[in-house]
Amino acid sequence: MSPTAIGPVSVLISNAGITRDALSPTMREEDFTDVIETNLVGSFRMAKAVSKSMISAKWGRIVFISSIMGFLGSPGQANYASSKAGMLGLTRSLAWELGSRNVTVNMVTPGLIETDMIDAVTDKRRDQLLSQTPLRRTGTVQEVANVVKFLASDDASYVTGAAVPIGGGIGMGQ
């Protein structure tokens, strides 16, 4: 179904994310490209599909859900980290392209959040990540949603091209 079939879209929250973890020397190229295709190219396609109606309306909000791993990297996640890092370039390029039409484009970079995706993280890796997190806890989906809600609102009308970390302080300065 195309966006025009359901009417104009004024807010896009792009939350695509898959993983296919493996160390780079053993990672199948298909697993690398599948993750890039879903996480980065999928976000581009969604933004492209809705941006024309936002430009016509002279108002819109695009919020990409990335990951702190796009800034930090992670063993076995060259594909995932690359896809999420690429979203920064996508975010900032679209912010330039759409800003004069009153369309803001931002991304959030969650850290360790209680979702199904972290069920695959080993206890050892989870403890390691938590030890690098000043708040020493995982975040909640609601904490991410609160920031996304702000970025999608009129309260964030002067925020564009931003990468907002939601990770309890992990990766500060990145």
User: What distance in Å separates the CA atoms of residue 127 and residue 156, rounded to the nearest whole number?
Assistant: 34
* Nearest CA-CA partner of 81 in 141, 137, 128, 23: 23
* Nearest CA-CA partner of 61 in 110, 119, 121, 10: 10
Question: Residue for token digits 């999608």?
Answer: 152
The helix, strand and coil proportions of the chain, stated in percent and rounded to the nearest 5, come to 50, 15, 35
User: In this structure, how many other beta carbons lie within 10 angstroms of the beta carbon of residue 36?
Assistant: 16
80 in active site = yes
Amino acid of residue 53: S
For residue 76, the number of C-alpha atoms closer than 13 Å in the C-beta half-sphere is 8
Q: Which of 80, 91, 98, 112 is catalytic?
A: 80
**Active-site residue set:** 80
